[in-house]
Amino acid sequence: MTDTNLTAVLFQQNDLRMEDWPIPAPGPGQVLLEMQRVGICGSDVHFWTKGRVGDYVVKEPMALGHEASAVVSKLGQGVTSLNVGDRVAIEPGVPCRRCNHCKTGRYNLCRKVRFCATPPDHGNLGRYYVHDADFCFKLPDHVSFEEGALLEPLSVAVYATNRGNVKLGDTVLICGAGPIGLVCLLTAKAKGASQVCVTDLNASRLEMAKNLGAEFTVLVRREAPGVTAQAVEGALGDKADIAIECSGAPSSVNTAILSTQTAGVVVLVGVGHEKVEIPLLDAALREVDIRGVFRYANCYPTALAMVASGQVDVKPLVTHRFRLEDSLQAFEAARRGDGIKVMISCDRKA
Ligand code: NAD
Ligand code: ZN
């Protein structure tokens, strides 16, 4: 065990620094983790460049990072589910466990959830980090630390496809081919979707979608949403049973609704604009259900099982790799939109 805890700390907007922090001690029910891999998410970049995401404002220095895997290095009092040396994926949001949402299993909606790198809670992009043991999931030997870190975005996809009730034979539209759209594509295919169509403004991202199994892609330009919807319908042969919106662009939300079958479901994963004008009557009178998504609940075990069994291969999503010391360069690459997923190695050996 090293005795320093190099950590990527966001002091305020555009002020990310590498700092040596004390190594924290695990409290009862917690474990000290020696961090291994941390993926950069759009929200980490957004906190860095804007100093806030919606109502969450960075007021105190905050460690970034929430897509992570680690090795258990110390057990807090009463921990029996894990051992020192266990390789784990970290589910970043720990809810209160007591409120109605927690008790009914929708703990993602808990108002007291502590979520890594959402102010005021620290993230885990550092050498060491403490987390509740029951939100750490043991990785089988053949599942890599990178795959462990990718269980975070994959859990968003498990949840989003559950919300959309994607099942065998369904046709699915995925709007946006960023990391989230792409894990939704992989998950929809794994759940038995017969045909998946993916849209994006970026041709290279659509190429990636094709390589990952999308039957169809539609390159979006500045045309009206109805025109894009026609292209989607032309590709699939009909409207999609389910649309999963993963861009947050208002025009794309419109395309998602217009492209969805009567009695189908639109799942809103992308966030961006507080108010969006949508064809509400079209959705209402065709009984197209519009469902929101806030992170995920109870999805890590499914995401892990999908990766461990080979039902999904998330490895191609990692296009850039950096060391913890070079986190600033990693964030620059993520901000430029280089590739798909930027991954940081936190262990000294890497
Ligand atoms: P990203 O920015 O990497 O990907 C978004 C993609 O959408 C880009 O490839 C972009 O080119 C594309 N796009 C933009 N406008 C478009 C349009 N009009 N039509 C089609 N495609 C368009 O982001 P990401 O990391 O993949 O995340 C996707 C979204 O999901 C973001 O809005 C993010 O904030 C959100 N998100 C939500 C949750 C949740 O719990 N609801 C969780 C994770 C991420
Ligand atoms: Zn709660």
DSSP string for 9-37: EEEETTEEEEEEEPPPPP-TTEEEEEEEE
d(CA 298, ligand 2 centre) in Å: 14
pLDDT, tens digit (0-9, with 9 covering 90-100), for 86-135: 999 999 999 999 999 999 999 999 999 999 999 999 999 999 999 999 99
Q: Which ligand is nearest to the CA of 276?
A: 1
Q: Which ligand is nearest to the CA of 160?
A: 1
d(CA 66, ligand 2 centre) in Å: 20
Q: Which ligand is nearest to the CA of 105?
A: 2
Nearest to 196 by CA among 226, 224, 220, 166: 166
d(CA 134, ligand 2 centre) in Å: 15
Domain boundaries, the chain: 5-138+314-345, 157-292
d(CA 132, ligand 1 centre) in Å: 29
Which atom of ligand 1 is closest in space to residue 247's alpha carbon? 7
279 lines ligand 1 (CB under 6 A): no
Q: What is the pLDDT of residue 148?
A: 98
**Which run of H or of E encompasses 189?**
helix 179-190
pTM (2 decimals)?
Answer: 0.98
pLDDT, tens digit (0-9, with 9 covering 90-100), for 125-173: 999 999 999 999 999 999 999 999 999 999 999 999 999 999 999 999 9
Q: Which amino acid is at 95?
A: P
Nearest to 5 by CA among 33, 38, 45, 46: 33
Specify the fold of 157-292: Rossmann fold (3.40.50)
**From 109, 184, 199, 246, mutation site for ligand 1 pocket: most ligand atoms within 8 A of C-beta:** 246
Exposure of 166 in the CB half-sphere (CA atoms within 13 A) = 29
d(CA 296, ligand 2 centre) in Å: 14
Secondary structure of 139-169 in the HEC alphabet? CCCCCCHHHHHHHHHHHHHHHHHHHCCCCCC
180 lines ligand 1 (CB under 6 A): yes
CATH of domain 5-138+314-345: 3.90.180.10
Ranges of the chain whose pLDDT falls below 50: none
Q: What angle separates helix 179-190 from helix 145-163, to the nearest 10 degrees? A: 70
Which atom of ligand 1 is closest in space to residue 199's alpha carbon? 20
What beta strand segments (E) does 207-251 contain?
A: 216-219, 240-245
Q: Is residue 49 classed as helix, strand or coil in its secondary structure?
A: helix
92 lines ligand 1 (CB under 6 A): no
**From 247, 291, 318, mutation site for ligand 1 pocket: most ligand atoms within 8 A of C-beta:** 247
Q: What is the pLDDT of residue 350?
A: 55
